Chains A and B, each alone.
Chain A
């Protein structure tokens, strides 16, 4: 079996606030991304999914601090590298990142091609204008974007086009892995579909080898990802294939999350949406036991005592709960 394109072992990062408090936003996260696959990360706001995306790049700046763990891209360990080397030779080349609302980060006074020039020269100053233009045009055409876009200013592009342009710029140096954090959440549904199509095409043509897709929109995640990881309070609470995660969730939190999905399909009006009472724990001072225990309707005394490890339901499926799989299913059955 070949190396996974991205492997993360026990990655832990924290924020240090200006009052010197630690917030463990990513707590011992491990994951494997096989070539050609898309891994989806789901969770509510504040669960640490965006921090995970930032942490995966191996480049940390305050208030985010690296605490431990390893990140391997195609077998190459980047977690021990100097920040400068990571910035120059890893970011953009090995792993690329599209942050939330990336399309609003374009400088309105510069053309797209100038922006690409900055990106390329930051990694390799030897490129000249013509080389950059030729390369950019080739990449844009491959990604289904008209080459005229290169000579335009950001304001001349529609929202969807701007977002697709930003994605094209992010992958201009053909990285192996792309991390997309809510790449389509600010767009209308039609533009969203175009963005997803573009990402899908990039994966299918092998332009990028693997993708991590982060969103709180579960129906979208279900359609994009092969596997889904559900995060809660900085930890992975469930890792399964997309189908399993959505239709057969094991962790009570995933169960609640999937029960709140609303899609315009017949039969929707007959189901009752799940509501989870309460709010997530404060990560400055997380509870000792299961972090979800306070909000979980199946919680028992043992849940609040010791921390809960991830257990395997079957070889490719992990969940973080003390209750055995069979019993969980029985509980869900009787609850319905």
Chain B
């Protein structure tokens, strides 16, 4: 693990409880984590493990019920709207479903102009804004001239997700949380999306947090893997150590249950529950 690097985001006892009384549901249960600058982290869990809730807490979209999150070594304070907006200059997200991630009433320009405004470029001359948008679209191999005046839903899923990356390119945050960025798009477009994300990280040195249920994907992209089960981290460490030499029974079971192609997928051990 890259212990020599500076801490970027960390948490102590972070907990989220939904509901009250007997309907109480602990989605995230006292988790501790240390994400370093420039690291690629995967948080792996099955559906209902609380990984998306954790992602939303990291993003500051929902508050935590308990525990503290530290940003660059400082206690994160996002109680006021102004402070939240300041925080969101540093942390951004890519969501799972590109079809629901855009406001369908706004054209693509609006999405990109929002980012320029957020970087303090509200009063730039129009030509400079267009230049920036062209650059961002060019980064993900989209043509701005073809996109301007179009609505997001006129693009394919892969293109929409690339536009999301263009947005991040404009914003250049310190941390990017990618919540299942490839699970809704076809396998053939997946590599493209991952390539652009990696290129973006190499250029900006940002911390990349993948939230995924796909252990293969986590292994492929990340330096550090956190395995989450029912709101808790059961195991974490370097990708090689966690995926190839898992210590915890849950991780072992999870990895053995994923179908593979070079190693046998043993069905004889299956016990009907």
User: CB–CB under 8 A between A and B in the complex?
Assistant: yes
Chain B contact residues: helix, strand, loop or mixed:
helix
- How many angstroms between the C-alpha atoms of A194 and B267 in the bound complex? 8
Q: Give every chain B residue within 8 A of A217 (Cβ-Cβ).
A: 259
| A268 CB, min distance to chain B CBs, angstroms | 6
Assess whether A193 is in contact with B270, with CB atoms less than 8 Å apart.
yes
- Find B270's partner among A194, A259, A266, A269 (CB 8 Å cutoff): A194
| Contacts A262-B217, A279-B158 given; does A45 touch B195 at CB 8 Å | no
Among A266, A267, A275, A279, the one with the most B-chain Cβ atoms within 10 Å of its Cβ is A275
- How many angstroms between the C-alpha atoms of A158 and B189 in the bound complex? 33
B188-205 near A? 1/0 per residue, CB < 8 Å: 111110110000000000
| Contacts A218-B187, A260-B187, A273-B194 given; does A188 touch B258 at CB 8 Å | no
B210 within 8 A of A: no
Q: Give every chain A residue within 8 A of B261 (Cβ-Cβ).
A: 218-219, 222-223, 246-247, 261, 263, 265
| Contacts A262-B214, A264-B219 given; does A192 touch B186 at CB 8 Å | no
In the complex, identify which listed stretch (B9-17, B19-27, B106-114, B249-257) lies at the interface while the others stay far away: B249-257
Assess whether B259 is in contact with A219, with CB atoms less than 8 Å apart.
yes
Assess whether B189 is in contact with A275, with CB atoms less than 8 Å apart.
yes
B1 within 8 A of A: no
Q: Which parts of A183-227 form the interface with B (CB within 8 Å)?
A: 188-190, 192-194, 196-198, 200, 216-220, 222-223
Assess whether A189 is in contact with B260, with CB atoms less than 8 Å apart.
no
A315 within 8 A of B: no
Q: Give every chain A residue within 8 A of B244 (Cβ-Cβ).
A: 266
A113-130 near B? 1/0 per residue, CB < 8 Å: 000000000000000000
Q: Which parts of A145-159 form the interface with B (CB within 8 Å)?
A: 145, 158
A83 within 8 A of B: no
Residue of A nearest to B188 (CB): A276
Query: What interface size band does chain A fall in?
Result: 35 or more
Assess whether B259 is in contact with A268, with CB atoms less than 8 Å apart.
no
B176 within 8 A of A: no
Q: Give every chain A residue within 8 A of B18 (Cβ-Cβ).
A: none
Q: Give every chain A residue within 8 A of B215 (Cβ-Cβ).
A: 264
| Contacts A189-B258, A279-B158 given; does A223 touch B191 at CB 8 Å | no
Q: Which parts of A134-169 form the interface with B (CB within 8 Å)?
A: 144-145, 158, 160-161, 164
B121 within 8 A of A: no
Which A residues are closer than 8 A to B by beta carbons?
44-45, 144-145, 158, 160-161, 164, 188-190, 192-194, 196-198, 200, 216-220, 222-223, 246-247, 256-257, 259-269, 273-277, 279
